[in-house]
Amino acid sequence: MKHLYYIAVEGVIGVGKTSFAKILSERMSAKLVLEKFEENPFLEDFYIDPERFSFQTQLYFLLSRYRQQLELKQVDLFHSLLVSDYMFDKDKLFAHLNLDDKELVLYNLIAQLLEKEVPKPDLVIFLQASTDRLMANIKKRGRAYEKEMSREYIESLSQIYNEYFFRYKASPLLIINTSEIDFVTNEDDLNELLALLRKPISGTIYYNPERKAK
């Protein structure tokens, strides 16, 4: 059976994980797996009234991500590399932010049953950015269901992500601060990131360029 090398790109809403995953898949001739967040029928209602719609939204995401992750276990003979714009564990981060204590108990019971069957990434790339950069990116892409998203929500989400990956040990981890780079439109920035991925990565590597985005 052919080994499938699995890279998961993660980060807070608006950081550019889908854009980066798409670029990686093109440059590395990898199979691309994108999260189907737009199929969640509760998502727009959640951003308007999170207290009312948080549990429905989270449970739908959990089951949807679980089904998609099981598909990753099917070996693709035409690709030796797989790139995804999320990892299954992200669902827990959102759950702890959005659910109350009773809802979280039920959520965790379901999640613990499902996660046993989910494949683990061989490498996780965690993209970071400042709140200002994240809010600007969210505004620029102009998704209707994100227009009610608050700065406070993004800051809380960033804190949860940072705390999670500070303790993350399940696989090699590459943390990239993207606040002052633009890997979508600047080829030099992109090439530097691609060069990082050509080197063996073990443990945790933190990449924080100091030049300004162009």
| Residue 210 domain flag | no
- Domain count within the chain: 1
| Residue 84 domain flag | yes
For 90-110, what is each residue's pLDDT tens digit?
999 999 999 999 999 999 999
Model confidence at 180, pLDDT cuts 50, 70, 90, reads confident
* Rounded distance between C-alpha atoms, residue 164 and residue 160, angstroms: 6
State which residues form the domain around 81. 5-159
* Residue 85 is a catalytic residue: yes
| Residue 166 domain flag | no
| Residue 24 domain flag | yes
Owner of token pair 């979508």 = 184
For 195-207, what is each residue's pLDDT tens digit?
888 888 888 999 8
| Residue 195 domain flag | no
The reported pLDDT for the residue numbered 123 is 93
Catalytic residue among 45, 49, 76, 85: 85
Strand partners, 175: 126, 206
Nearest Cα neighbor of 191 from 35, 72, 24 is 24
Q: What CATH number has the domain bearing residue 121?
A: 3.40.50.300
Out of 17-21, 61-65, 89-93, 141-145, pick the least confident.
141-145
| Residue 205 domain flag | no
| Residue 212 domain flag | no
The reported pLDDT for the residue numbered 76 is 59
For 29-52, what is each residue's pLDDT tens digit?
888 999 988 889 998 899 889 889
